[in-house]
Homo-oligomer: A and B are copies of this chain.
Amino acid sequence: MAVYTEVSDEELAEFISPYNVGELLSYKGIAEGVENSNFLVHTTGGNFILTLYEKRVNRDDLPFFLNLMQHLSQKGLNCPTPLDRGNGEMLGELAGRPAAMVTFLEGMWVRRPRIEHCAELGRGMAEMHVAGSDFDMVRPNALSVDGWQPLLDATRDRAHEVMAGLAEELTLELDDLTAKWPANLPTGVIHADLFPDNVFFLGQKLSGLIDFYFACTDAFAYDVAICLNAWCFEPDGAFNVTKARAMLDGYRRIRPFTSAEFDCLPLLCRGAALRFLLTRLYDWLSVPEGALVVPKDPMEYLRKLRFHRDVTSAETYGLDL
């Protein structure tokens, strides 16, 4: 749950005046997004989400994120569309922070995804990859293989507090992944954080993707690997091959895999597991005692990492070439 920047009624009324959204009727801070402060704003023109970018988001990256959402919307993808402040700019400043207003998306995220949700996710992710293929801005993935070493260095001395031998296991893993990480897979804009809370549904139909603040330029199949980890394991840790097959089939109907993507999938899944393991470990060790925010369990991702280490072919994920 986010810590909110306080926004006064007077500041907000002034901030929204350049937008073509009518009069301010109400606004509420909402418990969505961990990195930023978000408000649901109601005006005579409709519902909008106002985001204040807090310090964990690099200000220089904001044009990439906002232009990407605008580009994807124009291509017909359901995602938040940033509003123009009347001067061609999508970014303003509010309460001392960069801020943007985006359209409100109906829908809810699914706490317990079923097979049909996984199929929809696969389709929606592939549509995003295709819609972004002619987006002309580039943002390297700061949390890909080059970014993992600093995270491991920052957590190495205290990793044993979570599990004895954890630092040693992760060091071996990272060395192996660094040596084998593929360089020439089909690349484009990926979401890089398509966890269930960023995918909205109305009934069993995907109604939109949100939270593009980890989006970057990277291998499409790495986005798929992140989703295999986030959507296709059961709460007890078991891999659900039926969900994986549904997701991958949904994806391939829109964008087929190359044979290189097929071959690399187990390795990419290991990498994607290590990436979330490391950031969760970092957060776990950083949260002060007594804090009200419960960090996510890094060990969930160690179990996923170990699962993928035993996978010899993408066929294990229900995929057939």
Interface residues of A (CB under 8 A from B): 1, 3-4, 6, 8-10, 12, 24-32, 40, 42, 47, 104-112, 200-202, 288-293
When distances are taken between beta carbons in the complex, the residues of chain B under 8 Å from A29 are 1, 30-32
Copies in the complex: 2
A30 touches which one: B25, B30, B42, B107 (CB < 8 A)? B30
Residue numbers in B under 8 Å from A292 (CB-CB)? 3, 291-293
Is the Cβ of B8 less than 8 Å from the Cβ of A42? no
Chain B residue contacts of A106, Cβ below 8 A? 25-26, 42
CB distance from A46 to the nearest CB of B (A): 12
Name A111's contact: one of B1, B10, B25, B293 (CB within 8 Å).
Answer: B10
Nearest residue, chain B, Cβ from A106: B25
CA separation between A111 and B288, bound complex, in Å?
31
Contacting residue for A25 out of B26, B109, B202, CB 8 A = B202
| Measured CA separation A184–B112 after assembly (Å) | 58
CA distance A40 to B26 in the complex (A): 12
Contact status A111-B9, CB under 8 Å? yes
Residues of chain B lying within 8 A (CB to CB) of residue A8: 111-112
A299 to chain B, nearest CB (A): 20
Whether the pair A10, B293 counts as a contact (CB closer than 8 A) is no
A308 to B226, CA, bound (A): 62
In the complex the two chains form, what is the Cα distance from A201 to B23 in whole Å? 13
Q: Check if A108 sits within 8 Å of B26, measured CB to CB.
A: yes
**Smallest Cβ-Cβ distance to A13: which chain B residue:** B108
In the complex, A34 Cα to B6 Cα: how many Å? 15
CB distance from A22 to the nearest CB of B (A): 13
| Closest A-B pairs by Cβ, 5 of them | A29-B31, A288-B290, A8-B111, A28-B30, A9-B108
B3 touches A109 (CB 8 A): no
Q: Which of B108, B200, B289 contacts A24 (CB 8 A)?
A: B108
- B25 with A28: CB separation less than 8 A: no
Checking B27, B110, B200 against A108 with a beta-carbon cut-off of 8 angstroms, the contacting residue is B27
Nearest-CB residue, chain B, relative to A38: B28
Known: A42-B106, A290-B290, A292-B292. 9 other contacts (CB 8 A): A9-B110, A25-B202, A26-B104, A26-B107, A29-B32, A30-B40, A42-B47, A288-B289, A291-B292
Q: How far is the CA of A110 from the CA of B12 in the complex (A)?
A: 12
Contacts of A289 in B (CB 8 A): 288-290
| Bound Cα distance from A107 to B43, whole angstroms | 10
* Alpha-carbon distance between A12 and B110 when the two chains are bound, in angstroms: 12
Asked if B107 and A25 make an inter-chain contact with CB atoms under 8 angstroms apart, the answer reads yes
What's the Cα separation between A111 and B42 when bound, in Å?
Answer: 18
Q: Which residues of B contact A291 (CB under 8 A)?
A: 290-292
